[in-house]
Amino acid sequence: MKQPRELSEREKWFRQRIGKVIYRNDNGCSCPACQDALKNGLVVNDEMHANYLYENECEYTAEGHPLRYFDTKEEAMEFSVQQQS
Ligand SMILES: [Zn+2]
């Protein structure tokens, strides 16, 4: 049987927040889903969702659109400002 690979710190971060609300920085998108996530944050539903969010973060950032989730809206906003300056 294959050993599960070790999770990165960031993957653990998302898994530890299953059932909790997290916030993300402004990605500049004005669609209702993004605006809602920006304003209200989103709940990490389960392990699959945690993985999905983690992968999104990696992909967007790799494509030059930094995406990052935080515990508080304040931290997320601060990150948005840093990205825009
Ligand atoms: Zn959008």
pTM of the shown model: 0.87
Q: What is the pLDDT of residue 28?
A: 82
pLDDT mean across residues, the chain: 93
Q: Edge-to-edge strand order for the sheet containing 42-43?
A: 42-43, 21-24, 69-70
In a domain, 17, yes or no: yes
Cα 30 to averaged position of ligand 1 atoms, centre (Å): 6
In a domain, 2, yes or no: no
Spell out the residues 6+ positions from residue 19 whose beta carbon is closer than 8 angstroms to its own.
43, 44, 45
In a domain, 1, yes or no: no
Cα 28 to averaged position of ligand 1 atoms, centre (Å): 8
Q: What is the pLDDT of residue 1?
A: 66
Q: What is the pLDDT of residue 5?
A: 81
**Range of the structural domain that residue 48 is part of:** 9-84
The phi-psi region of residue 64 (left if phi > 0; otherwise alpha if psi is between -120 and 50; otherwise beta) is: left
Cα 38 to averaged position of ligand 1 atoms, centre (Å): 10
Cα 26 to averaged position of ligand 1 atoms, centre (Å): 10
In a domain, 36, yes or no: yes
Q: What is the pLDDT of residue 27?
A: 80
In a domain, 38, yes or no: yes
* Cα gap 81→69, rounded to integer Å: 14
Helix or strand run (H / E) with residue 42: strand 42-43
**37 alpha-carbon distance from chain centroid:** 10
> What's the structural domain count of the chain?
1
The pLDDT tens digits for 16-54 are 999 999 999 998 888 999 899 999 999 999 999 999 999
What's the whole-number mean pLDDT along residues 5-25?
96
In a domain, 4, yes or no: no
Question: Is the pLDDT assigned to residue 4 strictly greater than 80?
Answer: no
